[in-house]
A and B are shown apart, each in its own frame.
Chain A
Amino acid sequence: MSDEQGKRGGDERGALVAEYVLGLLGPREHARVEAMIAADPALKAEHDFWSARFAALDSEFGEVDAPAHVLGRVEARLFGAAPKTSIWNSLALWRGLTAGALAVAVAAIGFNLMQPTPSVTSLTTQLVAALEAEGSDVRFLALYDGAGAVRLTALSGDVPSDRDLELWAIQGEQAPISMGVIPVNQRSVVELSEEVQAGWGEGSVLAITLEPKGGAPEGRATGPVVALGEVHQI
């Protein structure tokens, strides 16, 4: 292919992706180009290029107050009609924690108990959480030892070498509290800070996010959630 032909091909592909980003294509062609972009990293780059460039026009969209009832309807649809009950109970997410995950949890606890675990005093005081998320193969089991520490067992999942996993505690409506970076593919013990300990108990949520090496800057999660689970008493 000559340079001239190559340039023309590139121009046409570029223009087609621009048409896609602008929303000019009909439904059939729009779907076709969408599939092409998904399959071709060069077209994806072209898509990101046009999206970023046209986004400079976003400031021309004026602000118009949305009708007052919209927020309530959105919250009702997302969180259920009675948000005053437990915040976490109605989340579809938790329904996704299947009996299978709990079976894994129980089996893993059995395994844990076979190890020498001097700090575990009584099963009745224990809290456990199975951490996982749709679309992620990172899975952890968290077991609270009843004495101020969470023992983590990695069940599966790999992390890019330039990233770290960070553990978070979410309690009630507070912002997530970092519990620090955790090692991948091995067991670890995380001591609960006073701040976490203060709200700790059944219904607390543990989440794991993918963060830059060394953990989230400024102690605020930036990466995607790769696993999470609610703490239950067993």
Chain B
Amino acid sequence: MPAQSGPAEISELIARCSLRDRQAFRMLYQRTSAKLFGVVLRILKNRAEAEEAIQEVYIKIWQRADRYQAGQSSPISWLVAIARNHALDMVRARRPAGDELDEAMQIADAGPDPERLAQASQEGERIETCLATLEPEKAEAVRGAYLEGYSYDELAQRYSVPLNTMRTWLRRSLIKLRECLTA
């Protein structure tokens, strides 16, 4: 990867891609492909699959460049989300069907307060602080899900607990995390 590119430069390259500027696409690839390959490789844990994934990811980036809204999220986060979600889709597709949890959660109809959420989103990097308020292995499980793409099944095996216990555990942790993040 060449010298560290600033978010403003990446943002401009994405905007130029939306104007079908091929040179900008090549530059965007050169600036960001090592990061995104790192993402898909970490989640897929298989070089051949990661190689297939990274191609699809850049095709999606070219196709969706016009949906990127500068200022709404950091351009790197936007790119990482495309890469991570694509890798997770591949992981989901290859998991056995029986992996699905039985009971769909019943959701009461009470929404969060969007204004408060929006405000909280702007605050920056509180996630580390809030993860630190969880028990270490629960914080580790949340990070494992985000960074390694672990499913509930894989987490249950890693921590040697039944699947439903794992889900109850993690849901409580996520509720606690949300309270901390919006506090």
Q: Chain A residues in contact with chain B, CB under 8 A?
A: 1, 5-16, 18-19, 22-30, 32, 40-43, 45-46, 48-49, 51-58, 60-67, 70-71, 73-75, 77-79, 83, 87-88, 91, 93, 133, 168, 170, 173, 175-176, 205, 207, 209, 220-225, 228
Q: Which residue of B lies closest to A67 (CB)?
A: B51
In the bound complex, CA of A25 to CA of B91 (Å)? 11
Chain A contact surface mostly: helix
Q: Which residue of A lies closest to B71 (CB)?
A: A222
List, in ascending order, chain B residues with CB within 8 A of A168's CB: 19
How far is the CB of B106 from the nearest CB of chain A, in Å? 8
How far is the CB of A43 from the nearest CB of chain B, in Å? 7
Q: Of residues 84 to 136 in B, which have CB atoms within 8 Å of A's CB atoms?
A: 84-85, 88, 91-93, 95, 97, 99-101, 104-105, 107-112, 114, 117-118, 120-121, 124-128
Contact A13/B29 with A55-B81, A170-B19 known, Cβ cut-off 8 Å:
no
Q: How does the 8 Å CB contact mask read for B54-81 relative to A, with 1 for contact and 0 for none?
A: 1100110010001101110110110011
Given A11, A26, A41, A207, which contacts B92 in the complex, CB threshold below 8 Å?
A26
In the bound complex, CA of A23 to CA of B92 (Å)? 9
Task: Assess the B147–A53 pair: CB atoms within 8 A.
Answer: no
Task: Assess the B107–A9 pair: CB atoms within 8 A.
Answer: yes
Task: Assess the A73–B37 pair: CB atoms within 8 A.
Answer: no
In the bound complex, CA of A61 to CA of B39 (Å)? 6
List, in ascending order, chain A residues with CB within 8 A of B109's CB: 9
Q: Chain B residues in contact with chain A, CB under 8 A?
A: 1, 11-12, 15-16, 18-26, 29-30, 33-39, 41-42, 51, 54-55, 58-59, 62, 66-67, 69-71, 73-74, 76-77, 80-81, 84-85, 88, 91-93, 95, 97, 99-101, 104-105, 107-112, 114, 117-118, 120-121, 124-128, 142-143, 145-147, 149-152, 155, 170-171, 174-175, 177-178, 181
Given B85, B117, B149, B170, which contacts A45 in the complex, CB threshold below 8 Å?
B117
In the bound complex, CA of A32 to CA of B107 (Å)? 12
Task: Assess the B175–A70 pair: CB atoms within 8 A.
Answer: no
Task: Please name 7 further chain A to chain B contacts, defined as beta carbons within 8 Å, in addition to the given A18-B174, A23-B146, A61-B38, sorted by A numbering.
Answer: A9-B109, A23-B149, A51-B77, A57-B143, A60-B143, A77-B59, A170-B21
Contact A23/B145 with A63-B34, A209-B19 known, Cβ cut-off 8 Å:
yes
List, in ascending order, chain A residues with CB within 8 A of B29's CB: 71, 74
Given B12, B20, B58, B174, which contacts A15 in the complex, CB threshold below 8 Å?
B174
Given B38, B91, B107, which contacts A62 in the complex, CB threshold below 8 Å?
B38
In the bound complex, CA of A23 to CA of B91 (Å)? 10
Given A1, A205, A220, which contacts B15 in the complex, CB threshold below 8 Å?
A220
How far is the CB of B146 from the nearest CB of chain A, in Å? 5
Given B54, B99, B125, which contacts A66 in the complex, CB threshold below 8 Å?
B54
